[in-house]
């Protein structure tokens, strides 16, 4: 197991008393009740909890898809509450990326075009580098021979790997994976987890994995348990599952 590198003085992600409530016709439904979290660069963290625990809501806030109701969210020490829609869009374009449970690839579109999609919205990466960067990302998930296939011609596991390539292509600070194995059989799920572990162990990527399954969560190095909108535990004391070993066993 590779040793954790030097911890930066400013954490990548820091929340202080973060709350989130949904409002419908005067009715307030609190989902998060004051979350205090710190996640550093190059961590591989699982956010785990049963449905309704607020884990997805927390991921949306941390991924700049949603804003907290109260509390602070500091990204690299920068407060994010006052950011405009366009600033949030710019952060999503450059700093974070997502792997979704339902893959969310564009149908009738090639693997290459799908992976290239985030680069269209990237403010600084020049258009001339798009294909090369995308091909590199596709190679890193072992799908270079499928680059010109339409995504609907691929298996679920392959589609999720395309989605991971798409998440890699902008070299973001953090990758959010929301139930990435939820729509996959155990074998494909395992392969996807192997890719994610490789990205962290060998690529040094920061990954935040959101799941309700202990067996999936245990692929990370740290598990944050959420229950009813509160952090119920935050631990590194567990046996990490090695996806590569599992894959080899299954073969």
Partner 1 sequence: MHINDTVQASYKAVTAHRMRSVLTMLGIIIGVGSVVLLVSVGRSFERYVLDQVESFSSHLIEIYPTGFEKFGRSLDSLSFSDYEAVTQLSTVESVAPVIFVTEKVVYGTEEISPMVFGTTNKFFANYSLNLEQGRLLNESDIKGARSVAVLGYQAAIDLFGDRDPLGERIRVGKRFYTVVGTMETIGSALLQDLDTPVYVPFTTAKAQTGQKYLSYMTMKASIDDDNLVVADITSLLRQRHGIENIDNDYDKDDFRARSASQATEIVGSVGLGLTIFIGLIGGISLIVGGIGIMNIMLVSVTERTREIGLRKALGATRQDILRQFLIEAVALTMIGGVIGIVGGASLGALIAAVASKFVGTVPFVLSIPALLAAALMALATGLIFGIFPARKAASLSPMEAIRWEG
Using an 8 Å Cβ cutoff, are 179 and 212 in contact? yes
Which lies closer to partner 1 via its Cβ, residue 67 or residue 242? Answer: 67
3-20 burial by CB neighbour count: b if 16+ within 10 A, else e?
Answer: eeeeeeeebbbbbeebbb
Q: Which of 231, 210, 229 is nearest to 19 (CA)?
A: 229
DSSP at 70: E
89 binds partner 1 (CB under 8 A): yes
106 binds partner 1 (CB under 8 A): yes
- One residue of 98, 159, 165, 174 binding partner 1 per CB under 8 A: 98
Sign of CA dihedral 72, 208, 179, 170: positive
Strand partners, 15: 37, 73
Q: Count how many residues are written for the chain.
A: 251
Q: Which two tokens stand for residue 91?
A: 């952060």
Kindly state the smallest distance separating residue 17's Cβ from partner 1, in Å: 21
Binding pattern for the stretch 132-171 against partner 1, x by CB under 8 A and - elsewhere: ----------------------------------x-----
Which lies closer to partner 1 via its Cβ, residue 5 or residue 22? Answer: 22
Question: What are residue 142's phi and psi, to 5 degrees?
Answer: 60, 40
- One residue of 28, 85, 132, 145 binding partner 1 per CB under 8 A: 85
Q: Interacting stretch for partner 1, rule CB under 8 A, among 107-115, 141-149, 193-201, 227-235?
A: 107-115
Kindly state the smallest distance separating residue 24's Cβ from partner 1, in Å: 13
90 binds partner 1 (CB under 8 A): yes
Kindly state the smallest distance separating residue 96's Cβ from partner 1, in Å: 9
Please work out the total of residues on this chain that contact partner 1, with binding judged by CB under 8 A. Answer: 28
117 binds partner 1 (CB under 8 A): yes
108 binds partner 1 (CB under 8 A): yes
Spatial separation of the C-alpha atoms in residues 251 and 173, rounded to whole Å:
34
Using an 8 Å Cβ cutoff, are 73 and 15 in contact? yes
238 binds partner 1 (CB under 8 A): no
Q: Interacting stretch for partner 1, rule CB under 8 A, among 2-10, 99-107, 224-232, 243-251?
A: 99-107
21 binds partner 1 (CB under 8 A): no
Q: Which of 174, 189, 195 is nearest to 98 (CA)?
A: 174
26 binds partner 1 (CB under 8 A): no
Which lies closer to partner 1 via its Cβ, residue 112 or residue 223? Answer: 112
Using an 8 Å Cβ cutoff, are 48 and 212 in contact? yes
Spatial separation of the C-alpha atoms in residues 174 and 2, rounded to whole Å:
19
Binding site for partner 1 (CB under 8 A): 60, 63, 65-66, 85-86, 89-94, 97-98, 100, 102, 104, 106, 108-109, 113, 117-118, 120-122, 127, 166
């Amino acid at each position: 197991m590779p040793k954790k590198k030097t911890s930066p003085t400013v954490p990548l992600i820091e929340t202080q008393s973060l709350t989130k409530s949904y409002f419908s016709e005067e009715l307030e439904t609190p989902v998060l009740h004051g979350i205090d979290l710190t996640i550093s660069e190059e961590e591989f963290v699982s956010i785990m909890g049963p449905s309704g625990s607020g884990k997805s809501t927390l991921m949306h806030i941390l991924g700049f898809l949603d804003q907290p109701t109260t509390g602070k969210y500091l990204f690299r020490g920068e407060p994010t509450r006052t950011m405009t829609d366009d600033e949030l869009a710019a952060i999503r374009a450059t700093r974070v990326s997502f792997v979704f449970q339902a893959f969310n690839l564009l149908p009738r579109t090639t693997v290459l075009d799908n992976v290239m999609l985030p680069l269209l919205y990237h403010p600084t990466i020049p258009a001339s580098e798009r294909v090369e960067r995308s091909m590199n990302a596709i190679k890193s998930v072992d799908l270079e021979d499928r680059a010109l296939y339409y995504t609907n011609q691929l298996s679920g596991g392959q589609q999720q790997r395309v989605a991971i390539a798409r998440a890699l292509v902008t070299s973001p600070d953090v990758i959010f994976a929301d139930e990435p194995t939820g729509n996959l059989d155990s074998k494909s799920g395992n392969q996807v987890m192997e890719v994610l572990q490789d990205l962290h162990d060998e690529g040094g990527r920061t990954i935040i994995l959101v799941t309700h399954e202990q067996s999936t969560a245990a692929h990370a190095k740290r598990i944050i348990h959420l229950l009813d909108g509160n952090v119920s535990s935050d631990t590194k004391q567990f046996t990490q599952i090695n996806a590569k070993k599992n894959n080899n066993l299954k073969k």
